[in-house]
Structure 1
Amino acid sequence: MHIITDPKQLQNEIKALKRQGKDIAFVPTMGNLHNGHLQLVRQAKQKTSIVVVSIFVNPMQFDNQNDLKTYPKTLENDCQLLEKENVTIVFTPEADTIYPNGLTAQTYVEVPELSERLEGALRPGHFRGVTTIVNKLFNLVQPDYACFGKKDFQQLAIIKQMVTDLAMPIEIIPVDIEREANGLALSSRNGKLSSSERAKAPLLSKVMNKIAQSLPSKEIAHTELITAASKELNENGFTVDAIDIVDCNTLQPIDSNSKRIVILMAAFLGRTRLIDNQVINLQ
């Protein structure tokens, strides 16, 4: 496994692999890896033997500078995990090599509409930061395949739209959410939970499952389901940030043409913001 910090060196390595006719699969991460990340790597390995993983905590996508400063950095352990997975290259740049002129002078890439609603409305500029860094990493790595987790549902939809709109020759591979036995979606943020908060955390997915079981029934209004879910979570130590039920393709409110819908959950448990989602096929 080759650990690279310099973007130009990475480009030279990629050029050499391309000259050999190798396909490349890419997994972008911000580090602090868990089994969900490793599942992305394993999916990538099913496509090609050449897998590049980036570890970069992207300052452009943080609207809260304290979150950026406190984001856990576990590079040594991350690299050990990736070596066991036979990753080819780990790219771990510093921010000043990715944004040499600073964030304010950086050209950005933004997907309109999809980036402006739901999570985008709660965190203005967040998805601009995501699509800008992913676009830049795509240019550096030149992947044939890129794996993204389904847990960040809106992010995945936005990345897929960007790839389509900009005619990027990259196959985006969505990877299922990895969960603990109690249903809690794996996340780097879970490590910030206290022991008592961790005991409560699985309620988020349980409440989401309750909504999912009721949704096929047209007799129950979606607003009523959301109100009941918010009440249950808030009464059990959570602070609900948002619960939305939208069309999978448009992320707009459900209408008579909706065939697949998604429940999007976001709630604070203490200072930790947890997210989850569930897709439902309508008959």
Structure 2
Amino acid sequence: MKVFTNAENLRQALMAQKDKKTIGFVPTMGALHKGHLSLVSQALSENDCAVVSIFVNPTQFDNAGDLKKYPRTLDKDVALLKTLQGTVYVFAPTANELYNNAIVSRHFNYGPIAKEMEGKHRDGHFDGVGTVVSLLLKAVNPNKAYFGQKDFQQLQIVKKLVELEKLSVKIIGCPIVREENGVAMSSRNKRLTKSQFEAATVISKTLKEVKDNFEKMSIPQLNALAKQRFKDNKHIELEYFEIANEATLKTVQRKRKGNKYRGFVAAFAGEVRLIDNMHL
């Protein structure tokens, strides 16, 4: 396995075999877990090699404390990737290297999808996401790039980014991988106490309950049910629960035939912010 910290060296290594091999790309912020490995495994199954970026992107954090506390475990991440079968390249640049000493976000006009949910609660977040994903895609120039559906809104943003930037890469959304207790796998889970981790099951359980009752109850009733479940949990503080149209991400108050819907949650366990979603 090769680890690159320099974008030009990575490009040269990939160009040397580009004509013969397809490249699958998995962007991560490190602290890898089984969810990440599932993305890399899919990339390896559909391509001749995979590039995994490990980079904690400063421009997508609206909370400086969250950025500082985000887990950084490069050596463990590399060791974990070595357990996979296939050719994997690791790209772990510094912020100055990737941003060419200008660590600022570009502004993107994603349209209405960026103004819902995370867009309402994390100012500038999607500009930071778009900036780093654009830089990474141009450095790697992959055939396909793989993103988990846990960040479903981000997945749609990335698809829009590729359209805006006219990049020749196919974006693949991959299923959420969950812990045995149902909590969506996340690098942030490592910051949870044991009691917080168990309490966080309220997120997936609530989404599942909403899904099970989706045909029987109105959306206002489902919203009330979800909010009550979080009121009953003393360890997890709800930031938002919303039911949205999957195509537009617009929050809805009424179901209409022919549309697909998804439930979205953002909540806090102490200082740790967790997100999850489920198709309804």
TM range (shorter): over 0.9
Spell out the pairing of 1:48-127 with structure 2 (5 A cutoff): 48-85=47-84, 86-104=86-104, 107-127=106-126
Does residue 225 (structure 1) correspond to residue 234 (structure 2)? The answer is no
Supply the distance in 2 between the matched residues of 1:101 and 1:269 (Cα, whole angstroms). 35
Greater alpha carbon shift after TM alignment, 263-272 vs 80-89: 80-89
How far did residue 125 of structure 1 move?
A: 0.5
Paired residue for 2:167?
A: 168
- Distance change >3 Å, CA 107–CA 243, structure 1 → 2: closer
Cα deviation 1:126-146 (Å, max 9, x = unaligned):
011001111111101000011
Quick check: 1:111–1:128 contact (8 Å CA) kept in 2? Answer: no
Supply the distance in 1 between the matched residues of 2:88 and 2:206 (Cα, whole angstroms). 40
How far did residue 227 of structure 1 move?
A: 2.1
How far did residue 109 of structure 1 move?
A: 4.1
Supply the distance in 1 between the matched residues of 2:258 and 2:239 (Cα, whole angstroms). 25
Paired residue for 2:198?
A: 199
Supply the distance in 1 between the matched residues of 2:276 and 2:24 (Cα, whole angstroms). 26
Paired residue for 1:28?
A: 27
Supply the distance in 1 between the matched residues of 2:21 and 2:267 (Cα, whole angstroms). 43
Quick check: 1:29–1:55 contact (8 Å CA) kept in 2? Answer: yes
Supply the distance in 1 between the matched residues of 2:258 and 2:272 (Cα, whole angstroms). 33
Paired residue for 1:16?
A: 16
Paired residue for 1:250?
A: 248
Spell out the pairing of 1:252-267 with structure 2 (5 A cutoff): 252-254=250-252, 256=256, 258-267=258-267
Quick check: 2:148–2:174 contact (8 Å CA) kept in 1? Answer: yes
Spell out the pairing of 1:34-45 with structure 2 (5 A cutoff): 34-45=33-44
Amino acid at match of 2:94: E
Supply the distance in 2 between the matched residues of 1:107 and 1:189 (Cα, whole angstroms). 26
Cα deviation 1:147-201 (Å, max 9, x = unaligned):
1001101001111122234332211111111112221111111111111111211
Paired residue for 2:130?
A: 131
How far did residue 110 of structure 1 move?
A: 4.6
Amino acid at match of 1:99: Y
Supply the distance in 2 between the matched residues of 1:146 and 1:3 (Cα, whole angstroms). 19
- Secondary structure of 2:42's counterpart equals helix
The alignment's TM-score, normalised by the length of structure 2, stands at: 0.94
Quick check: 1:44–1:51 contact (8 Å CA) kept in 2? Answer: yes
- Distance change >3 Å, CA 84–CA 108, structure 1 → 2: farther
- Secondary structure of 2:71's counterpart equals coil
Quick check: 2:95–2:101 contact (8 Å CA) kept in 1? Answer: no
Supply the distance in 1 between the matched residues of 2:258 and 2:248 (Cα, whole angstroms). 9
Quick check: 1:111–1:131 contact (8 Å CA) kept in 2? Answer: no
Quick check: 2:106–2:127 contact (8 Å CA) kept in 1? Answer: no
Quick check: 1:110–1:131 contact (8 Å CA) kept in 2? Answer: no
Quick check: 2:142–2:169 contact (8 Å CA) kept in 1? Answer: yes
Match of 1:240 among 232, 238, 241: 238
Percent identity over paired residues:
39
Supply the distance in 2 between the matched residues of 1:7 and 1:93 (Cα, whole angstroms). 7
Quick check: 1:53–1:87 contact (8 Å CA) kept in 2? Answer: no
- Secondary structure of 1:88's counterpart equals strand
Paired residue for 2:189?
A: 190
Amino acid at match of 2:261: I
RMSD of aligned residue pairs (Cα, Å): 1.5
- Distance change >3 Å, CA 87–CA 110, structure 1 → 2: farther
Amino acid at match of 2:115: E
Paired residue for 1:213?
A: 212
Quick check: 2:96–2:103 contact (8 Å CA) kept in 1? Answer: no
Supply the distance in 1 between the matched residues of 2:246 and 2:66 (Cα, whole angstroms). 29
Amino acid at match of 1:94: T
Supply the distance in 1 between the matched residues of 2:64 and 2:100 (Cα, whole angstroms). 19
Q: How many residues align?
A: 276
How far did residue 119 of structure 1 move?
A: 0.6
How far did residue 14 of structure 1 move?
A: 2.0
Paired residue for 1:152?
A: 151
Supply the distance in 1 between the matched residues of 2:41 and 2:21 (Cα, whole angstroms). 18
Supply the distance in 2 between the matched residues of 1:273 and 1:247 (Cα, whole angstroms). 23
Amino acid at match of 2:206: V
How far did residue 108 of structure 1 move?
A: 4.6
